[in-house]
Amino acid sequence: MKKGIRYLRFSSDGQSLHSIERQDLITGQWMNNSGVEIVDTFIDEGHTARNFDRPDIKVLFEFIKKNHDQIDYLVVAELTRFSRIAGDAINMVTKIQALYDVRIVSASRGSIYDCMDHNSFFIMGLEFLMGNSENIKRQNDINAGIYTAKAVKGLWIQGGRAPFGYKKEGKNEARRLVVNESEAIVVRYIYDAYIAGVALYKIKEKAIEMGLKRTATTAVERILTNPLYYGFQQVKAWKQNPGGLFPLKNHEPIIEATTWKLVNEKIKRGNKERKIYDDLIPLRGALRCHCGKLLTGAASKGKMGKYYYYYKCSIASAHNNISAKKAHKQLSGALELMSLPEKLISSIKEKSEIEMEITLKEHKTLLKQRQIEYEQVGEKLMSIEEKWITNRIQHDTYERWHNELTIKKESLKEQIDKLRHNGDKTFLLLRDQLFYLSDLNYVYTEANTIEKQELIKMVFDDFLYYENGIYRTPYIMEPFIRNELKMREMGYLDYTKKRGNFSIIPSSGPGEIRTL
């Protein structure tokens, strides 16, 4: 009695699990009808036929090598189950027959192929080639469908879970992403923090604390580089059709286009500085030496085992090496003197509210204008699409105008959204937050390290220096300049509008300032 082994396979491209049952039935019937005993069955589930890097087919080859004297046939339902790459498949089948005298069988065709017979070899090669051709056609159909759905129709067709910040809604062509507002807050924080210069590891820590559920090493980087958050998706080129970023339709962005582009330009430039935050020396990375270099910070162990913290310049030993205790005390004194009296805050609020009313009126006028422009661009887009469909313009002309008009439309939409919402947000911020200006030192003290650095950079425009035992700066936000003379007299802060040339003077002497 002849003996044979079976090989069954289904791929991972959505093929039904019942494919294995069908193959089992076809191969089993042929072997039963032909009087061939089934020695063993090898099954690869969810593996492509484009190569032989499959677990069970490797075991099958080893089995044939060791037991070929007891095997007459290798039986498959169709040759495409064995492989879809004609050249590789023919070479492998020829090798198995030449070395081990085992022939391959296509059970659905009822054909036993003999690689040593030219007619049988030709028919076998033809079946492999037909399967390969069908595979190429099917892949082309799939790629064409994906390109049309994403680039032309603007559909989101990805499987799996929705990107963080969104949830899935609808089915088939009605499927779309809907903003999950509780998660969107985290996404907006990630973008804002990155623009503000916060280190990625700190962004991730805070984002997880806020509810980020993705804990992969590059989770934050993926959110920052995903164009979906500003309403676009990456589409691969297909044949003569270009790839690139294409707009999603019926999709609400979480991030503004300008913000996304600003972030990704910053990512492309790269950032070699590694930021490390320490609550005991919060000015590290925000305070500069008189030479312009950002000061680092470290602890020094005293004779009694107690640690003392210092800010120091990494360029030269003759530059700053400042007691953090003194530096913090001086900054607190300066912030107290920079705080605004209630009368001045009330005056600022009244003037700001008047200006805000004028601005809001201007915004309403501008909003109407932008809405008209938005509608006009939409009409031009429809016109260009109609001309392309009716073959009145070439594809490259369509592509150029379509891309330009799409970008302009998205820019106008972004401006409209800003004009609708930013005025209300600014007014609420003005109304609810101005009173904090009465105690800047409290605001600074209660903030975390990242917020402290952001406050310092904002108030001093990233130009806060330390020289000869005192803070120096060429810039302070205008409302906080009122006590500049007193701040200088108290030895807290020397404000000079034009910085000039701060000489590089070794910091040494009394007052807890020492050289390295």
Tell me: pLDDT of 266 over 70: yes
Q: What's the pLDDT tens digit per position in 342-387?
A: 888 788 777 777 777 787 788 888 889 989 998 998 898 888 888 8
Tell me: pLDDT of 516 over 50: no
Tell me: pLDDT of 281 over 60: yes
What pLDDT is recorded for position 504? 37
Phi, psi of 119 (to 5 degrees): -65, -45
Bridge partners, residue 513, by sequence: 322
What pLDDT is recorded for position 238? 81
What pLDDT is recorded for position 17? 46
CA distances from 381 to 150, 205, 455 (A): 17, 44, 45
Tell me: pLDDT of 164 over 90: yes
Distance (Å, whole) CA 384 – CA 399: 9
- The stretch 68-75 carries a mean pLDDT of 93
What pLDDT is recorded for position 40? 93
What pLDDT is recorded for position 513? 41
Tell me: pLDDT of 512 over 50: no
The one-letter code for the residue type at 415 is Q
Tokens at residue 268, please? 């492309």
What pLDDT is recorded for position 318? 64
Sheet strands side by side (includes 2-10): 36-45, 2-10, 73-76, 103-106, 111-112
- The stretch 240-268 carries a mean pLDDT of 86
Helix (H, G, I), strand (E, B) or coil at 232: strand
Tell me: pLDDT of 438 over 80: yes
DSSP-derived secondary structure letter, 513: B
What pLDDT is recorded for position 15? 47
The one-letter code for the residue type at 501 is N
Residues sharing a CB contact under 8 Å with residue 28, sequence separation 6 or more, in sequence order: 6, 38
What pLDDT is recorded for position 432? 62
Higher pLDDT pick, 67 / 290: 67
What pLDDT is recorded for position 30? 94
Residues sharing a CB contact under 8 Å with residue 230, sequence separation 6 or more, in sequence order: 253, 254, 255, 256, 257, 259, 260, 261
Higher pLDDT pick, 50 / 308: 308
DSSP-derived secondary structure letter, 238: B
CA distances from 477 to 277, 329, 351, 437, 461 (A): 25, 21, 17, 12, 8
What pLDDT is recorded for position 455? 87
Higher pLDDT pick, 253 / 292: 253
Share of the chain above pLDDT 90, in %: 30
pLDDT-based confidence at 299, cuts 50/70/90? confident
Sequence length of the chain is: 516
pLDDT-based confidence at 212, cuts 50/70/90? very high
- The stretch 411-428 carries a mean pLDDT of 68
Tell me: pLDDT of 313 over 50: yes
Is residue 97 within 8 Å of 116, Cβ to Cβ?
A: yes
Helix (H, G, I), strand (E, B) or coil at 268: helix
Tell me: pLDDT of 501 over 60: no
Is residue 267 within 8 Å of 199, Cβ to Cβ?
A: no
Tell me: pLDDT of 275 over 80: no
What is the tally of helices (H) and strands (E) in the chain?
Answer: 15, 16
Is residue 51 within 8 Å of 88, Cβ to Cβ?
A: yes
Q: What's the pLDDT tens digit per position in 7-48?
A: 998 875 444 445 788 889 999 999 999 999 999 999 887 666
Distance (Å, whole) CA 416 – CA 257: 13
Bridge partners, residue 41, by sequence: 6
- The stretch 240-266 carries a mean pLDDT of 86
What pLDDT is recorded for position 39? 93
Average pLDDT taken over every residue of the chain: 83
Higher pLDDT pick, 81 / 379: 379
Higher pLDDT pick, 487 / 482: 487
Give the number of other Cβ atoms within 10 Å of residue 235's Cβ.
19
Judged by average pLDDT, the poorest of 21-30, 155-164, 401-410 is 401-410
What pLDDT is recorded for position 270? 73
The one-letter code for the residue type at 75 is V
Is residue 219 within 8 Å of 205, Cβ to Cβ?
A: no
Higher pLDDT pick, 282 / 505: 282
Distance (Å, whole) CA 108 – CA 79: 9
Distance of CA 372 to the CA centre of its chain: 34
Distance (Å, whole) CA 479 – CA 37: 94
Distance (Å, whole) CA 234 – CA 242: 11
Q: Which H/E stretch holds residue 245? A: strand 244-247
Q: What's the pLDDT tens digit per position in 465-479?
A: 998 899 999 999 888
